[in-house]
């Protein structure tokens, strides 16, 4: 049990700098990666991520919920995004055999082709604007930190709100 009479602790100067650097850097980086994909391939970053997840799945199809979970996006968001992608011909919806409620999104050949193209742009962007700017150790540390964040936030249900 935490005696949080005093958890209104501030961040020290170094922590604050790091936190703001992360906020601003993330804003710029996501903006840039998204913009590049849009300009060159008419694809948003979230759409790209969906293509990636589907391309890795067996038979290139995934339940909507699985897709949402793997991206940590809301179900609703995935529904809307997949609808747009379906309209664009990148994906089709297939009713799930084992579960009458279920729907699977399946990558079309066109979607797969687009992914192959867009991957060049995306990977180059990630390398150029992130990976190459950091030492291997620092980049590994970033991974470690956000793995911990993910573990922490997926296990701690938002609804519990222990005080």
Report what 88 binds from DNA, a copy of itself, none; CB cut-off 5-8 Å by kind.
none
Residue 65 interacting with a copy of itself (CB under 8 A): no
Residues 56, 87, 119, 138, CA torsion sign: negative
How many chain residues touch a copy of itself (CB under 8 A)? 56
Residue closer to DNA by CB (options 55, 92) is 92
- For the chain, the first-to-last Cα distance in angstroms comes to 10
CB of 46 to a copy of itself, least distance (A): 10
Helix (H) or strand (E) holding 15: helix 13-41
- Residue 77 interacting partner from a copy of itself, DNA, none (CB closer than 5 to 8 Å by kind): DNA
The answer to whether the beta carbons of residues 116 and 90 sit under 8 Å apart is no
8-state DSSP, 134: S
**Interface with a copy of itself (CB under 8 A), residue from 97, 153, 157, 160:** 153
User: Up-side HSE of residue 120: CA atoms within 13 Å toward CB?
Assistant: 6
Looking at the DSSP bridge assignments, the partners of residue 94 are 104
Give the nearest distance from C-beta 95 to a copy of itself in angstroms: 28
**Contact with a copy of itself (CB under 8 A): which of 27, 65, 95, 113?**
27
CA-to-CA distance for 14 and 16, rounded, in angstroms? 5
Report the relative pairing of strands 103-107 and 91-95 from DSSP bridges.
Answer: antiparallel
Binding status of residue 83 toward a copy of itself by CB under 8 A: no
Q: Which is nearer to a copy of itself, 97 or 162 (CB)?
A: 162
Q: Of 13, 19, 64, 92, which lies in the binding site for a copy of itself, with binding defined by CB under 8 A? A: 19
CB of residue 34 to DNA, shortest distance in Å: 7
């Amino acid at each position: 049990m935490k005696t949080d009479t005093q958890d209104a602790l501030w961040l020290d100067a170094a922590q604050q700098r790091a936190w703001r650097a992360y906020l601003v850097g993330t804003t710029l980086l996501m903006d840039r990666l998204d913009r590049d994909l849009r300009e060159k391939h008419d694809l948003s970053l979230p759409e790209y991520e969906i293509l990636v997840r589907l391309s890795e799945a067996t038979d290139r199809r995934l339940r909507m919920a699985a897709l949402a979970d793997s991206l940590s996006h809301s179900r609703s968001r995935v529904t809307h995004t997949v609808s747009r992608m379906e309209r664009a011909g990148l994906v089709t919806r297939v009713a799930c055999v084992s579960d009458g409620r279920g729907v699977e999104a399946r990558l079309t050949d066109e979607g797969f082709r687009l992914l192959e193209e867009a991957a060049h742009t995306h990977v180059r962007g990630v390398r150029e604007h992130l990976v190459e700017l950091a030492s291997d150790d620092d980049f590994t540390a970033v991974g470690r930190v956000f793995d911990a964040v993910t573990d922490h936030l997926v296990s701690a249900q938002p609804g519990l709100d222990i005080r």
